[in-house]
């Protein structure tokens, strides 16, 4: 063979139907929304919860130009084995907090995947594979009921945890103090409650 | 704690006395972290006016025998090359972290591995080398920090840690002060340091040697040291190389992706293993040369359009085919792309 070098990179994608992993789970999550919605915090909470549960985990925030123009996202990979790439191109799960991020990432979610979308801010139906499970959570409305729109991220995370079943909302709540700066610790009860309410919503709306 | 912060704390644990930095994405968390932690520890932190200032302050601090370091990202590291050459010429230890981003020029701020040549070939002018470490996880970034300071002191030369934007920005579980992966070395006495000459002969630290023959003597001395480093300090990891038909060589973040792709390829019955250099200079030439004896196919994967592949070819020395797959400009190969490349390799091979 004369050489495999391809200056454009390989454009062909992976062969269809190749399973990501034969053994164990390999969960790739994108949390996305706009700046100020606590996207980074939600991703870090998930990573911290996974770490405390003894899983392999990586967390990667968007730090590049994609952060500008109002969208923020963080990528979390949780597995039973050492993690290859912390970058997620085709997630198993998406937590989409605004319309732009759902439009961008929902089409990339793998078949059989999960989309949690914040229906308080999103009217349209996401474009997903037929086998993907979509749960519309009125996260902002539930958050406002709890005292602040700011905990909508935790409502959505609670719904994700309930649907995915990897970790309980309680285990995530127990990690809140690790990821929230001390000056926000007065919001711990509200955020814990938001996680619980999100989980409860997912349980009753599946 | 992201990779940048973890490596900063690891430097503090490794006993860095002075940190000099100038901001540049994607390594700003290091400077920010050090600005808080170094004063807490009663050590020196300076936010410099430029990268040139930073590397020359490293020179100054190092000349006094203190452990000193700086960090930057690709364009900033280019600005430091003069200083690195002077450090090499003056035989001063220093640790420099390059959290690589896309280039050339100002490029972008996405992760890349385009500075391999610069790091492993010396980078600045003159006949010198820098030890270069290429960690592939946040834990290894931390482990490399202690090793880098030990190697710098032992061989009196700059050591570069070649990370990239992913390692700097990502978080993963890490043990900061656990058992040392590479045992701590006893630092040699720094009897050359400028500590005030009262009661002893004066020490001079310089890199200018005009008298005939003197510089060549220094060059030869450095060369002997480099040979000794090549003999004693190579670190690399191998996986299933003995039973493989294909060996994938990669370092840093690219090596994680390769590991994922190799695991999947093996599930599909392809006989493939990997070699991961941790020291990029000294390069694991012997290990790769040995693997090449058995007529394997080599695939090199990099986040560049081909730099380390040249060292692999030198090591293989024509004994086996060496192929390449890379993405550049801040693009990162995916597990699927590397897997597909491996699958394509196996089809036409009939040996």
Choose from A9, A13, A78 for mutation: most chain B CBs within 10 A.
A9
d(CA B332, CA A6): 14
Contact criterion met (CB < 8 Å) for B253 and A85: yes
Confidence tier at A65 by pLDDT (50, 70, 90): low
Write down the pLDDT at residue A36. 87
Residue B150 to residue A66: CA distance in whole angstroms: 39
Q: pLDDT higher for A20 or B116?
A: B116
Per DSSP bridges, beta strands A93-96 and A114-118 are: parallel
DSSP B208: -
Pairs of residues, one from chain A and one from chain B, whose beta carbons lie less than 8 Å apart: 106
Are the folds of B3-191+207-232 and B236-346 the same? yes
Return phi, psi of residue A57, to 5°.
-155, 145
pLDDT(A1) > 70:
no
Q: Give how far Cα A108 sits from Cα of A74, A76, A129, B77, Å.
A: 15, 15, 9, 37
CA angle centred on B250, ends B248 and B253, rounded to 5°:
135
Q: Looking at residue B64, what DSSP letter applies? A: T
> Does the distance separating the beta carbons of A12 and B345 come in below 8 Å?
no
CA atoms within 13 A on the CB side of A87: 21
| C-beta separation of B156 from B222 below 8 A | no
**b/e B53-74 (16+ beta carbons within 10 angstroms → b):** bbbbbbbebbbebbbbbbbbbb
What's the CATH architecture for A26-204?
3-Layer(aba) Sandwich (3.40)
Task: For residue A22, give the chain B residue with the closest CA.
Answer: B267
Distance from first CA to last CA of chain A, Å, rounded?
53
Domain boundaries, chain A: 26-204
Alpha helices in chain B (DSSP H): 3-13, 28-40, 51-63, 74-79, 81-89, 116-120, 138-155, 165-169, 214-232, 252-267, 285-292, 308-316, 335-346
Confidence of residue A10 (pLDDT cuts 50, 70, 90): very low
User: pLDDT tens, position by position, for chain B (351 residues)?
Assistant: 899 999 999 999 999 999 999 999 999 999 999 999 999 999 999 999 999 999 999 999 999 999 999 999 999 999 999 999 999 999 999 999 999 999 999 999 999 999 999 999 999 999 999 999 999 999 999 999 999 999 999 999 999 999 999 999 999 999 998 999 999 999 899 999 999 999 999 999 999 999 999 999 999 999 999 999 999 999 999 999 999 999 999 999 999 999 999 999 999 999 999 999 999 999 999 999 999 998 789 999 999 999 999 999 999 999 999 999 999 999 999 999 999 999 998 644 444
Architecture of domain B3-191+207-232: 3-Layer(aba) Sandwich (3.40)
- Which residue, among B163, B260, B304, would best test binding to A if mutated, counting the most A CBs under 10 Å from its CB? B260
CATH topology of domain B236-346: Rossmann fold (3.40.50)
DSSP characters over A13-34: -PPTT--S-SSS-EEEEEEEEE
Cα A53 → chain centroid: 17
Length of chain A: 206
Of A4, A59, A86, the CB nearest to B341: A4
Could you give the CA distance from residue A121 to residue A129 in angstroms, rounded to a whole number? 22
List the one residue out of A155, A154, A153, A162 whose CA is nearest residue A202: A162
Q: How far is CA B171 from CA A37, A86, B81, B236, in A?
A: 20, 9, 30, 24
Q: Judge: A4–B324 Cβ closer than 8 Å, yes or no.
A: yes
Is residue B234 within 8 Å of residue B279, measured between CB atoms? yes
Please give the mean pLDDT across all residues of chain A. Answer: 87
Asked if residues A90 and A109 have their Cβ atoms less than 8 Å apart, the reply is yes
Residue A2: per-residue pLDDT: 34
Short-list B333, B29, B327, CA closest to B168: B29
Rounded-to-10 torsion of CA A108, A111, A117, A123: 80
Specify the pLDDT at position A14.
34
Query: Between vectors from CA B74 to CA B71 and to CA B77, what angle results, nearest 5°?
Result: 55
Q: Read off the pLDDT of each residue in A60-73 and give the average, rounded to a whole number.
A: 73
In this prediction, residue B346 carries a pLDDT of 64
pLDDT digits (tens, 9 = 90+) for A37-62: 999 999 999 999 999 999 999 999 98
Query: Where are the domains positioned within chain B?
Result: 3-191+207-232, 236-346
**A:18-77 residues touching chain B, CB 8 A cutoff:** 18, 20-22, 44, 47, 51, 56-61, 63-65
- Predicted local confidence at residue A66, as pLDDT: 57
pLDDT band at A68 (very low <50, low <70, confident <90, very high): low
Report CB contact under 8 Å: A86, B344. no
**Distance from C-alpha of B143 to C-alpha of B310, rounded to nearest angstrom:** 27
Query: CA-to-CA distance for A135 and A94, rounded, in angstroms?
Result: 10
Selection from B138, B149, B145, B167 nearest residue B67 by Cα: B149
Helix (H, G, I), strand (E, B) or coil at A142: helix
What is the CB-side half-sphere exposure of residue A153 using CA atoms within 13 A?
25
Please report the sign of the dihedral spanned by the C-alpha atoms of residue B244, residue B120, residue B156, residue B35: negative
What pLDDT is recorded for position B294?
86
Integer Cα distance of A135 and A160 in angstroms: 9
How many C-beta atoms surround the C-beta of residue A119 within 10 A?
15
Cα A104 vs. chain centroid, distance in angstroms? 14
Residue A70's pLDDT is what? 67
φ, ψ dihedrals at B175, nearest 5°:
-105, 120
A56-61 and A71-79 strand pairing: antiparallel
Taking an 8 Å cut-off on Cβ atoms, the answer to whether B25 and A63 are in contact is: yes
Bridging pattern class, strands B297-302 and A93-96: unpaired
pLDDT category, A206, cuts 50, 70, 90?
confident
Candidates B261, B323, B331; nearest CB to A9: B331
Rg (CA), chain A: 17
Q: Does A164 touch chain B (CB under 8 A)?
A: no
Helix (H) or strand (E) holding B74, with range, is: helix B74-79
């Amino acid at each position: 063979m004369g050489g495999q070098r391809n200056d454009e990179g390989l454009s062909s994608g992976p062969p269809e139907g190749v399973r990501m992993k034969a053994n164990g789970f390999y969960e790739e999550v994108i949390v996305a929304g706009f700046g100020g919605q606590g996207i980074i915090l939600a991703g870090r909470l998930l990573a911290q919860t996974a770490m405390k549960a003894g899983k392999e985990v990586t967390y990667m925030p968007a730090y590049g130009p994609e952060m500008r123009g109002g969208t923020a996202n963080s990528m979390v990979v949780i597995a039973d084995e050492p993690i290859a790439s912390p970058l997620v191109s085709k997630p198993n799960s998406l937590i989409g907090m605004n319309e732009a991020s759902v439009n961008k990432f929902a089409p990339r979610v793998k078949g059989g995947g999960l989309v949690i979308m914040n229906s308080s801010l999103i009217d349209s139906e996401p474009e997903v594979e037929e086998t993907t499970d979509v749960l519309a959570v009125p996260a902002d409305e539930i958050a406002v009921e709890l005292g602040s729109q700011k905990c909508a991220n935790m409502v959505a995370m609670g719904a994700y945890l309930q649907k995915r079943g990897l970790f309980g909302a309680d285990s995530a709540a127990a990690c809140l103090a690790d990821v929230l700066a001390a000056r926000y610790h007065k919001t711990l009860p509200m955020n814990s409650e938001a996680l619980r309410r999100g989980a409860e919503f997912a349980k009753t709306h599946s | 704690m992201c990779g940048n912060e973890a490596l900063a704390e690891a430097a503090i644990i490794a006993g860095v006395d002075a940190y000099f930095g100038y901001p540049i994405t994607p390594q700003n968390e290091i400077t920010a972290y050090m600005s808080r932690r170094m004063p807490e520890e009663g050590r020196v932190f300076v936010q410099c006016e430029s990268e040139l200032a930073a590397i020359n302050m490293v020179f100054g601090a190092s000349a006094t025998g203190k452990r000193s370091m700086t960090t930057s990202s690709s364009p900033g590291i280019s600005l430091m090359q003069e200083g690195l050459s002077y450090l090499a010429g003056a035989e001063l230890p220093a640790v420099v972290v390059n959290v690589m981003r896309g280039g050339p020029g100002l490029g972008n701020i996405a992760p890349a591995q385009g500075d391999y040549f610069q790091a492993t070939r010396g980078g600045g002018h003159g006949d010198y080398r820098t030890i270069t470490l290429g960690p592939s996880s946040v834990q290894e970034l931390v482990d490399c920090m202690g090793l880098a300071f030990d190697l710098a002191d032992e061989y009196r030369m700059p050591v570069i840690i070649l990370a990239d934007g992913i390692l700097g920005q990502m978080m993963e579980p890490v043990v900061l002060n656990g058992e040392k992966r590479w045992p701590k070395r006893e630092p040699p006495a720094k009897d050359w340091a400028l500590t005030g000459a009262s009661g002893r002969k004066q020490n001079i630290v310089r890199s200018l040697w005009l008298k005939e023959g003197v510089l060549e003597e220094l060059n030869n001395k450095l060369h002997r040291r480099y040979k000794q480093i090549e003999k004693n300090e190579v670190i690399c990891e191998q996986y299933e190389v003995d039973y493989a038909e294909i060996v994938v060589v990669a370092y840093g973040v690219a090596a994680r992706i390769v590991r994922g792709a190799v695991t999947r390829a093996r599930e599909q019955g392809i006989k493939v293993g990997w070699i991961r250099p941790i020291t990029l200079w000294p390069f694991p030439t012997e290990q790769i040369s040995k693997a090449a004896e058995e007529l394997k196919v080599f695939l090199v994967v990099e986040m560049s359009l081909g730099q380390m592949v040249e060292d692999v070819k030198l090591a293989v020395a024509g004994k086996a085919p060496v192929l390449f797959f890379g993405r550049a400009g801040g693009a990162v190969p995916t597990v699927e792309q590397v897997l597909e490349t491996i699958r394509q390799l196996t089809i036409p091979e009939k040996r």
